[in-house]
Structure 1
Amino acid sequence: MALGAGAAMGLGHAPYDLPFAALLALPLLFHLWQTAPGWRGAAMTGWLAGTGYFGLTLSWIVEPFLIDVARHGFMAPFALVFMATGLALFWALGFGVARRAVPHGRWAAALGLATALALSEALRAFVLTGFPWALPGYAWTGTPVAQAAALVGPHGLTALVLLLCLLPALLRPAPVLLGLGGLAALWGAGAIRLAQAPAIAPDAPAIRLVQPNASQQLKWRGDMVQVFYERQIAFTQAPAEAPLAAVIWSETAVPFLLDDRPDLQADIAAAAGPGTAAILGIRRLEGAENWYNTLAVLDAAGGTLASYDKHHLVPFGEYMPLRDRLRALGLSFLADGLVGSFSTGPGPRLLSVPGLPPFQPLICYEAIFPHQILRGPDRPDWLLQITNDAWFGSWSGPYQHLAQARMRAIEQGLPLARAANTGVSAMIDGHGRITRALPLNVAGFIDAALPPPLPPTPYARLGDAPVLAALLALLLTAALTARRRG
């Protein structure tokens, strides 16, 4: 039952988008948690629920292994089982700690479980390299409830919706009304915030997002490399209704080393035209073996005006953890042969390009880390994500990735432009609303005006620390209340 309830919670995320399923799943999990034998039994309940939750939400993890089925297909089921059961340990921690801290009571128990699970989910953003994919709060991205993230961030939103969906489990009028009324209040407040959104200025910079739709099976094939490159050149050259400030290509959109092909740099700049910045995803080689996943900005002559090297690399995808130790053990085939070997960039940075407001680049899954958006004097006016979501397949992965980009916009009050190889390319305003988009698995481009940035949100100013401290204080309060009454 716990496994099924966890999977039901996963239905809140894209592409299902059924967040109210939590109103059924969480009360059931609360009952199973309270009746489990001791904290170890409660932790096992959490682990089973987490396995169901992540088994559904991360089902896309098999897609990269199916690109070359003959070589890697056998690893697909192991990858899903490893990820689902491994990440479920965070739920086991939350359920176990909550039961140990709040062994008695009902109100206190609901508060304890919601805060403990929210805190354990927050750990996913930081432990090892971090992987805060599909936080429970993200299930509400497509609803006005998500606007609360501008105030309390992703972890505060997760705690709020967990608690409000848990309260009906107490089976009394007051908590049921509080839970449903709280969700209604969040919905209403979010709707009011959305209604107050500023209009896009008539003179806002116009940006073209290019989507070549190069499937991962064909993207690097010798007879297709030039085809996809010329497709992007054609999309870049296509007439625009208004002057373009920038043309943006997706992650690793250029299949050649630009340093070796200055003619291509000039061709791309010429295709963009004078006064239009060409922003590209490229691979860059420094020295003999230091490869970087890079965003490059070309000037009108084709020279590199600015660049950013991806700093948060995908473990086991873009680099092998403990590579040097594996080599020392004689396991070079593991260190070098199974995954990419990209080097790490220096960190988040602000880019300033003539004709554009300053922006922060995000490459691929860097957009899932809310705490890595620049704040304070380095706050950008907009965010730019370039990504190759062909790795995620055509079902849940690309849509979940898009939803998390929308959450970054809501949290920060910043517009976000998103150029994705196979989609979904989109322009997103500072309230997380999609103003223009190109569907998944469609080749083409869209021209979109850049929405204005909003004033810094409370979350943009303060970050995660106040919310995490408040959640910890609430968990301790629930524990003390339960023990005093018990």
Structure 2
Amino acid sequence: VLWLGGFALQRIHWTHPVGKPLTVSLLQGDIPQELKWRDDAVRWSLATYAKLTLNSTGRLIVMPETALPLFYRDVPREYLEGLAAYAKSIGSDVLIGLPEAETAGNTRYFNSVLSFGASPTQVYRKYHLVPFGEYIPLKPLFGWVIKVLNIPLADFSRGAKFQRPLRVSGQAVAVDICYEDVFGEEVIRQLPQATLLVNVSDDAWFGDSIAPWQHLQFSQTRALETGRYMLRATNTGVTAIIDQHGRVLKHMPEFKAAALNGVAQGFAGETPYVRFGNGPVLAVLFAGLALVVLRGRRVASR
């Protein structure tokens, strides 16, 4: 019944195209993880992404997570203004992954994506943080881990739980950062308003392993269950364009500094998952558990 039901539901077009097809340029800088956060390598990162951006022609240009290894306030103004001016000159928007520092009151840090170009500047701040990688749980007990392991930027704060899609390049873009796209119930918080999904990641930590490809499969699942294109921009791979059926249309080889150019389509509408999330699955699981418990009691009472 589940198989037949799934097959039947898959044949229904839950979403429909909205807006014109969108040219995209997804940037992959291939900055080695052991160099990325070193002071003497910052110029390399900035130069790499400036070159890739200024040679891109997509209406939406996307850099990966923390592509610029500087706080937003510390990035040279002329650098950002140059990228924004170029994007504006070709009618484009560029999404840039970089950390932010908010100094009003207690200083807080965010893993963010900011937009620059033809549309007004907007920001998405990562909500689902990696424990011991981006924040230290029970900090009074485990705060020493940051110093011992020398983890860069391991004290981020959460962004807001509910954030609006970024209005860029004629689309409403739901951004998620790194492994946030593993959690479908969090991705759909920006839907059905969002017409396009974007994931920015840095999976360089995993080296030449199967982990980046597994992460790509999570992105494919998010595209399929929401009925929307997913654009992935990563530091070392796997940078890819995924359609609304979860199929990888194009991807770039790992460990190569280049731009993946292609076309994406915005989609509107609600799939069952966008509307109900994990609710139906959890209901079935709890119902099954209840039946097992009831059956066990009946057997025990005989």
TM-score by length of 2: 0.85
Q: Paired residue for 1:43? A: none
Alpha carbons 1:410, 1:431 under 8 Å: kept: yes
Question: How far apart in 2 are the matches of 1:354 and 1:306?
Answer: 9
TM-superposition CA deviations, 1:307-345 (whole Å, max 9, x none): 01111110011111011x23xxxx753365544111111
Alignment of 1:14-25 (within 5 A): none
**Corresponding position: 1:207 with 2:24:** yes
Name which of 283, 287, 295 aligns with 1:469: 283
Letter in 1 for 2:108: N
Q: State the shift of 1:259 in Å.
A: 2.3
**Secondary structure of residue in 1 paired with 2:267:** coil
Q: Paired residue for 2:79? A: 264
Question: How far apart in 2 are the matches of 1:418 and 1:433?
Answer: 13
**Corresponding position: 1:334 with 2:160:** no
**Corresponding position: 1:219 with 2:30:** no
Letter in 2 for 1:292: F
Higher RCO (CA-CA < 8 Å; seq separation 6+): 2
Structure 2, gaps ≥5 residues long: none
Q: Paired residue for 1:34? A: none
Question: How far apart in 2 are the matches of 1:376 and 1:282?
Answer: 21
Q: State the shift of 1:465 in Å.
A: 1.7
**Are the structure 2 counterparts of residues 190 and 220 from structure 1 closer, same or farther at C-alpha, using a change threshold of 3 Å?**
farther
Q: Paired residue for 1:295? A: 113
Alpha carbons 1:249, 1:281 under 8 Å: kept: yes
Q: Paired residue for 2:61? A: 247
**Corresponding position: 1:237 with 2:54:** yes
Q: Which structure would you say has the larger Rg?
A: 1
Question: How far apart in 2 are the matches of 1:232 and 1:451?
Answer: 25
Alpha carbons 1:197, 1:431 under 8 Å: kept: no
Letter in 1 for 2:101: L
Question: How far apart in 2 are the matches of 1:375 and 1:294?
Answer: 17
Question: How far apart in 1 are the matches of 2:224 and 2:132?
Answer: 30
Q: State the shift of 1:272 in Å.
A: 3.1
Structure 1, gaps ≥5 residues long: 1-147, 149-159, 161-181
TM-superposition CA deviations, 1:339-398 (whole Å, max 9, x none): 411111112422332433112110111111111123587531111111111112221211
**Corresponding position: 1:392 with 2:206:** yes
Q: Paired residue for 1:228? A: 45
Letter in 1 for 2:127: H
How many pairs were matched up? 293
TM-superposition CA deviations, 1:193-242 (whole Å, max 9, x none): 49x799989941111100011120122234432223222222212254xx
**Corresponding position: 1:321 with 2:137:** yes
Question: How far apart in 1 are the matches of 2:102 and 2:16?
Answer: 44
Q: Paired residue for 1:284? A: 100
RMSD of aligned C-alpha atoms?
3.1
More helix by share: 1
Question: How far apart in 2 are the matches of 1:309 and 1:238?
Answer: 27
How high is the sequence identity, in percent, across the aligned residues?
Answer: 31
Question: How far apart in 1 are the matches of 2:191 and 2:248?
Answer: 27
**Corresponding position: 1:308 with 2:124:** yes
More strand by share: 2
